[in-house]
Amino acid sequence: MIQCPRGTRDFLPDEMEKRRCYENILRGVAHTFGFREIETPIFEEAELFILRSGPNVLKELYNFKDKGDRELALRPEMTAPAIRLFVNNMSNEPKPIKIFYFGQCFRYERPQSGRYREFFQFGAEVIGSATPETDAEIIAMAASMIKALGLKDYKMRIGHIGVLRQKIADAGVPKERTAEVLQKLDKKMYDEARPLLESMDVASDVIDDIFKFTETVGDTSVLEEVPGEAGDYLRQVVRYLSAMGVDNVEIDLGVVRGLDYYTGMVFEAEAPALGAEKQICGGGSYTLSELFGGEKVFSTGFAVGFDRILLAMEKEGIVYQRKGIDAYVLLVTDDVRLKAFEIVSKLRAAGISADADIMGRKMAKSLKFASTVCARYAVIVGAKELEEDSVTLRDMHTGEQKAVKLEDLADTIKG
């Protein structure tokens, strides 16, 4: 039997109904923040992602040559595609441009709980603005999304990659090796970061200072220790967040982010219940458009790891109630079968989700099946009732039954 490829999943109807419901909640939040949806291709020129993150990114890409010998890659994330879309199609539009997207991404990773090779992101970008308000809007929207889904146990950490980048540059680390150092610091692999920095002739006390900086964590008062413009900037972001009612944030100057295009504010949200793969959302400010042939434009964005946030909700005991259908039409005797289909199609035309037996089941079995499909009502069609232009409407929760005229059926069900 052929299974789905490693690191991918099938989604059955129950799971899919839940996912669509939560996806639409996120869409709703994005709309309330004034964002509009875009969609980009699932595969892109591999060059797009190489320009963004350097050739090393190929290791984590699903890349391939097509029949025209073009080097393509399945998208590992959607910020680079979104900015490409902006450069190609929207660069002359009034700023800021607020866009969001939802879709699958692909990374050639070692699969484990919460880490897949095909996963889904819900993300957003504000393009063309580099103010503390912009960053605050993005963080506030991420927080609103988590809140709208009902997740309680999570932590939001905000940092600033600019200060750390500056410190690393001041320490004499060559620009092209910054990413290597940041990757170690991102994972708090100090044992490996130290010899790496030493190999670049960084003095031991300077290394200590860098490490200490990445360990600066706490409430917003730790911002007192953050020097210069970056500190002032983050203080303003926090002030706007507070005005928007987003107070449960922590400052963590060790937030580095795995992707190396960020330049300023960076943030992450994590759900501790998820263990190793606990990061449910991440983002920050960056410039990418100039790499893709456009003018340099400042942007800020984030993406929610949709699969992970759903896992975290499950761990927290948030249960999705299957909606089911409004009505299941069943027959007392087979001679009313045609009439049953006339009734079911009228209900559907009235916007009611309705189904009818297509398996030739007897009434008792049909009633059981109506429960299986979580029908709210059973519409029981019998020859005797039809003589009076009526059917019997059974409330599947209470078991109550009443005769309803055919002309009133749709309104009664809707009511």
Binding site for ligand HAM (CB under 6 A): 77, 79, 107, 109, 115-116, 119, 121, 123, 125, 258-259, 279-284, 301-303, 305, 307-308
Choose between 189 and 243: whose C-beta lies nearer to ligand HAM: 189
Which residues neighbour 84 within 8 Å (Cβ) at sequence distance 6 or greater? 40, 44, 48, 292
Residue 143 vs 340, nearer CB to ligand HAM? 143
User: Minimum Å distance from CB 247 to ligand HAM?
Assistant: 22
Identity of the residue, 103 or 231, whose beta carbon is nearer to ligand HAM in the bound complex? 103
- Tokens representing 292 are 């893709």
Q: Which is nearer to ligand HAM, 278 or 394 (CB)?
A: 278
Q: How far is the CB of 62 from ligand HAM (least distance, A)?
A: 12
Q: Least distance from C-beta 371 to ligand HAM, angstroms? A: 36
Q: Which is nearer to ligand HAM, 268 or 385 (CB)?
A: 268
Q: How far apart are CA 188 and CA 97, in angstroms?
A: 35
Task: Give least dist CB 270 to ligand HAM, A.
Answer: 8
Looking at the Cβ atoms of 123 and 382, the one nearer to ligand HAM is 123
Q: Which residue has the tokens 């190999």?
A: 199
Cβ-based nearer residue to ligand HAM, 118 or 209: 118
CB of 338 to ligand HAM, least distance (A): 50
Q: How far is the CB of 7 from ligand HAM (least distance, A)?
A: 8
The 3 state secondary structure assigned to the chain is CCCCCCCCCCCCHHHHHHHHHHHHHHHHHHHHCCCEECCCCCEEEHHHHHHHHCHHHHHHCCEEECCCCCEEEECCCCHHHHHHHHHHHHCCCCCCEEEEEEEEEECCCCCECCECCEEEEEEEEEECCCCHHHHHHHHHHHHHHHHHHCCCCCEEEEEEHHHHHHHHHHCCCCHHHHHHHHHHHHCCCHHHHHHHHHCCCCCHHHHHHHHHHHCCEECHHHHHHCCHHHHHHHHHHHHHHHHCCCCCEEEECCCCCCCCCEEEEEEEEECHHHHHHCEEEEEEEEECHHHHCCCCCEEEEEEEEHHHHHHHHHHCCCCCCCCCCCEEEEECCHHHHHHHHHHHHHHHHCCCCEEECCCCCCHHHHHHHHHHCCCCEEEEECHHHHHCCEEEEEECCCCCEEEEEHHHHHHHHHC
- What is the closest distance, in whole angstroms, from the C-beta atom of residue 121 to ligand HAM in the complex? 5
The residue among 129 and 390 lying less far from ligand HAM, judged by its C-beta, is 129
Nearest CB to ligand HAM, comparing residues 265 and 356: 265
Q: CB of 398: closest distance to ligand HAM in angstroms?
A: 42
- For residue 97, the minimal CB distance to ligand HAM (Å) is 13
- Distance between CA 61 and CA 79 in Å, rounded? 15
